[in-house]
């Protein structure tokens, strides 16, 4: 790329490729008219929460779609994790990945349970079943793997290791609603699984989540704990919390579910377009979906090899951001490098070599029903341009940042 072409990049003063920012996780919105009708029903009925008919219908639909006996709708995925793990009796230490959104770890720490971070598989993004045994201690009470990016972790192997230590497993499937593993829907594995229906998720209920399980006793305990522990009108049997989903959230959830097939189709088309556009770009590797399974295609994740691209992940982010492409470094820098975990386990990184190696190289790119095929073409076109001229772009960015550092030092010296 010559200097003139470089000048066209927004980061060097050119016009941004997009007028409005393109975010990762812009909500998928279903049929607005159906939502308005449901809102009308809710207001006319004057049942706004406390497991009204909308929540019951939502729970039933989710249980049917996943193929489980119980779904307990929740106010969000974090509370779903807290309640599921508490109801099973997790305490002491629980083995979980650091390569996840911090809510996975927080849901444990919130209950004074120590998350013991386990590395991911070499070359993968998911918990390595082979590393679980070295972390089991007499205080270990469970395993909390994550079906990150809607891609299943090594479910069978994890269940088998956990089983050999008689450890219950709860899967954090916040990203994985609508996805399958070996032909069976995610949500039906382990003692329980949780989903998130946050606005950024494939199916959203504004905020929301669910615990899904085939365990009747567990389902009952979860339901009680979610409603302050009330067993009857004036009878409380557990420490409980308010984890209830509202009717309006369930109305949004049901409306989203009705458009699920269109969401998948749109996301899948975007994914194929990204795949085609990125396939010949050296140093930018798309994390692929296994299309023999059911996938929600909600996450477009790329690994950047900066030895080949000559621009770092951060520099790529800076260039894309100037173009109004709000790519994200999910989930940088890893839970073990965030507080309070960083202070609790300052040396955790030593055991998390694969996690550390991956976290600096991952970018999530915008997709979802708000992102069109034309948008994807533009994004991949820019990434391609960037990779062709990585050296020149990198040098110019670095020269600019050392110039501004020098200037800042001069201003400080003059002050
Ligand atoms: C892996 C993971 N677990 C848990 C959560 C928590 O879900 P929520 O935002 O619904 O509380 C999220 C949310 O993004 C997540 O990404």
pLDDT in tens, 92-114: 999 999 999 999 999 999 999 99
Please choose from 27, 98, 125, 174 the residue to mutate so as to test ligand 1's pocket, defined by most ligand atoms within 8 A of CB: 174
Say how many Å lie between the CA of residue 3 and the centre of ligand 1. 43
Distance of alpha carbon 70 from alpha carbon 87, whole angstroms: 14
Question: Ligand 1 pocket test: which of 27, 76, 77, 330 has the largest number of ligand atoms within 8 Å of its C-beta?
Answer: 77
Q: Whose CA is nearest to atom 16 of ligand 1?
A: 101
Q: Is 198 in the pocket of ligand 1 (CB under 6 A)?
A: yes
| d(C-alpha 284, C-alpha 268), whole Å | 20
Per-residue pLDDT tens for 181-204?
Answer: 999 999 999 999 999 999 999 999
CA of 334 to the centre of ligand 1 (A): 14
Ligand 1 pocket member 298 (CB < 6 A): no
Q: Residue 413 pLDDT > 90, yes or no?
A: no
Alpha carbon nearest to ligand 1 atom 1, residue: 101
Can you tell me which atom of ligand 1 is nearest the CA of 197?
A: 10
Q: 242 C-alpha vs ligand 1 centroid, how far in Å?
A: 18
Among 196, 201, 211, residue to substitute to test ligand 1 (most atoms within 8 Å of Cβ):
196
* Dihedral of the alpha carbons of 20, 25, 31, 32, in degrees to the nearest 10: -60
**Beta-strand relationship, 22-23 and 325-326:** parallel
Q: Is the CB of 98 under 6 A from ligand 1?
A: no
> 121 vs 16, 134, 144, 158, CA distance in Å?
38, 14, 15, 12
- Ligand 1 in reach of 209 Cβ (< 6 A): yes
Closest atom of ligand 1 to 172 CA is 3
Q: Residue 100 Cα, ligand 1 centroid: separation in angstroms?
A: 9
Location of structure tokens 């948008």: 375
In tens, the pLDDT along 69-96 reads 999 999 999 999 999 999 999 999 999 9
Q: How far is the CA of 196 from the centre of ligand 1 (A)?
A: 6
| % of the chain with per-residue pLDDT over 90 | 89
Task: Report pLDDT for 26.
Answer: 97
> Is the predicted pLDDT of residue 271 greater than 80, yes or no?
yes
Whether residue 366 has pLDDT greater than 80: yes
Tokens standing for residue 232: 């009857």
Cβ of 78 closer than 6 Å to ligand 1, yes or no, is: yes
Give kind and range of the element (H or E) at residue 231.
strand 230-232
Residue 210: other Cβ atoms inside 10 A: 30
Instruction: Name the one residue in this structure whose structure tokens are 């995925």.
Output: 77
Instruction: Write down the pLDDT at residue 202.
Output: 97
Q: What is the mean pLDDT of the chain?
A: 95
Q: Give yes or no for residue 174 CB within 6 A of ligand 1.
A: yes
What is the value of pTM for the model shown? 0.95
- Other Cβ atoms less than 10 A from the Cβ of 292: the count is 9
Confidence of residue 1 (pLDDT cuts 50, 70, 90): low
Pocket residue to mutate for ligand 1, from 25, 103, 151, 243, most atoms within 8 A of Cβ = 103
Q: What is the mean pLDDT of residues 380-391?
A: 90
Q: How far is CA 50 from CA 217, 246, 340, in A?
A: 21, 7, 34
Ligand 1 in reach of 150 Cβ (< 6 A): no
Is residue 145 exposed (0-12), middle (13-18) or buried (19+ Cβ within 10 Å)? Answer: buried
Q: Ligand 1 atom closest to Cα of 148?
A: 1
Q: Is the CB of 389 under 6 A from ligand 1?
A: no
Judged by average pLDDT, the poorest of 181-190, 252-261, 305-314, 361-370 is 305-314
Q: How far away, in angstroms, is 396 Cα from ligand 1 center? A: 38
Tell me, using a 6 A CB cutoff, whether residue 101 lines ligand 1. yes
| Ligand 1 centroid – CA 103 distance (Å) | 6
User: Which whole number is the average pLDDT over 221-242?
Assistant: 95
- Mean pLDDT, rounded, for 365-378: 98
Ligand 1 neighbour 76 (Cβ under 6 A) = yes
If pLDDT is split at 50, 70 and 90, which confidence band does 411 have?
Answer: low
In 65-197, where do the E strands start and end?
A: 70-74, 93-97, 114-118, 140-143, 170-172, 180-181, 184-185, 192-196
pLDDT given at position 415: 62
**How far apart (Å, rounded) are the C-alpha atoms in residues 211 and 199?**
18
């Amino acid at each position: 790329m010559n200097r003139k072409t470089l000048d066209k990049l927004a980061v060097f003063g050119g016009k941004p490729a997009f007028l409005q920012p393109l975010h990762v996780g812009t909500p998928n919105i279903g049929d607005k008219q159906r939502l308005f009708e449901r809102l009308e029903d809710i207001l006319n009925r004057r049942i706004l929460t406390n497991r009204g008919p909308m929540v019951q219908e939502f729970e039933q639909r989710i249980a049917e779609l996943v193929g489980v006996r119980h779904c307990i709708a929740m106010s969000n995925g974090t509370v779903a994790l807290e309640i599921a793990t508490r109801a099973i009796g997790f305490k002491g230490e629980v083995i979980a990945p650091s390569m996840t959104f911090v809510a996975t770890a927080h849901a444990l720490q919130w209950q004074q349970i120590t998350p013991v971070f386990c590395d991911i598989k070499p070359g993968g993004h998911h918990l390595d079943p082979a590393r679980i045994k070295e972390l089991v201690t007499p205080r270990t009470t469970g395993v909390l793997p994550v079906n990150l990016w809607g891609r299943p972790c090594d479910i069978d192997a994890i269940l088998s290791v956990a089983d050999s230590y008689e450890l219950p497993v709860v899967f954090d499937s916040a990203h994985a609603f609508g996805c399958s593993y070996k032909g069976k829907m995610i949500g039906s594995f382990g003692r329980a699984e949780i989903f998130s229906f946050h606005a950024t998720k494939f199916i959203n209920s504004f905020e929301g989540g669910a615990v899904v399980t085939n365990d009747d006793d567990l389902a009952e305990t979860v339901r009680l704990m979610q409603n302050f522990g009330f067993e009857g009108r004036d009878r409380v049997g557990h420490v409980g919390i308010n984890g209830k989903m509202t009717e309006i959230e369930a109305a949004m959830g049901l409306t989203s579910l009705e458009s699920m097939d269109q969401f998948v189709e749109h996301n899948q088309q975007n994914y194929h377009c990204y795949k085609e556009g990125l396939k010949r770009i050296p140093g930018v590797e798309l994390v692929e979906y296994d299309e023999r399974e059911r996938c929600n295609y909600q996450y477009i994740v790329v690994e950047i090899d900066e030895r080949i691209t000559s621009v770092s992940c951060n520099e790529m982010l800076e260039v894309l951001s100037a173009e109004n492409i709000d790519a994200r470094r999910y989930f940088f820098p890893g839970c073990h490098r965030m507080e309070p975990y960083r202070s609790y386990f300052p040396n955790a990184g030593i055991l998390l070599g694969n996690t550390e190696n991956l976290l600096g190289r991952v970018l999530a790119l915008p997709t979802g029903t708000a992102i069109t095929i034309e948008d994807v073409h533009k994004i991949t076109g820019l990434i391609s341009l960037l990779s062709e001229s990585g050296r020149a772009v990198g040098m110019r960015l670095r020269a600019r940042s050392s110039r501004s550092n020098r200037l800042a030092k001069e201003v400080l010296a003059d002050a």
